[in-house]
Structure 1
């Protein structure tokens, strides 16, 4: 067995997990149409993303950096178009980093159940407008949704509908493979 140093990093998280936030930020840059890629690194045991800013101090954390990129791209509508929607966007960004990231197997069902209920009468997380919260929640939920069975996906129909909608939103799914979310059900007339 290799020691953490020999493997090139923290032994508690595989390379794919360590680099996920950095790939998400690079994909967000592409979605936003930012021409000059930023320089990222990670810091600490939890591999917190860091944006190296030439003129200013470095920015730390997925949410902080994502909001900075949205502002840099001059796309403020992605942060919400009213005080209320901006608060809802921030709420879901916080939910992403505090609940979804590093959740246990037991937590996954709770998260999906809560999200399924929330999305019952909504198209997007912040109501009827696509925001950066949809993008980052999609990125964060992707590894969880990939592992669900068809039956589990059918249990969470609102999450599945939202997830499929976001993965087909132009330019969002850069670094992630598509996920077959909903399959068409065929019923015979005697089951109605």
Structure 2
């Protein structure tokens, strides 16, 4: 269900007021979007890229061939490495690795804000909020 909420937020941030109806599929609750004139779109990153194109903001998918590849890399990272992790040690390693990667960068692709930044933020937000709440409770 979290992926559906993320796609709804993405729609709003892109200025799309389409109110797409999303379903989920399978045990892992993979989002599905029924398009008006085509097959269903399945998966968070596939649907997100479709929304970016609908909003005519293709620059969010990368401007150069290298940047496009990096965006795809991070979108894949999001669904293969971030989603589904709840183990505290795995999350700590994931955040530490990401922090190291970003040491000399402003955004995941370097200096340009992309869909990868948006979806990685959405995916990591729950861990960061959980960590902050845990610290607040521990400080009492």
TM-score (norm 2): 0.91
Residue of structure 1 in register with 2:138 after alignment: none
TM-score normalised by length of structure 1: 0.67
The worse-fitting range, judged by mean Cα deviation, of 103-112 and 23-32 is 103-112
- Hey, what does 1:79 align to over in structure 2? 61
**Which residue does 1:59 correspond to in 2?**
41
Higher CA-based Rg: 1
Secondary structure of 2:67's counterpart equals helix
Deviation at 1:35, TM superposition (A): 2.1
Residues paired across the two proteins, number: 133
Q: Does 1:32 align with 2:14?
A: yes
Helix, strand or coil at the partner of 1:107: helix
User: Unaligned 5+ residue runs, structure 1?
Assistant: 1-18, 153-192
How far, CA to CA, are the matches of 2:58 and 2:23 in structure 1? 25
Q: How does 1:153-192 map to 2 (within 5 A)?
A: none
Superposed CA RMSD = 1.3
Cα distance, 1:148 vs structure 2 = 1.9
Q: 1:118 aligns with which of 101, 108, 119?
A: 101
Deviations 1:50-107 (A, max 9, x none): 0011210100000000001001111010000100001111111110110001112221
SS, match of residue 147 in structure 1: helix
Q: Greater helix percent: which structure?
A: 2
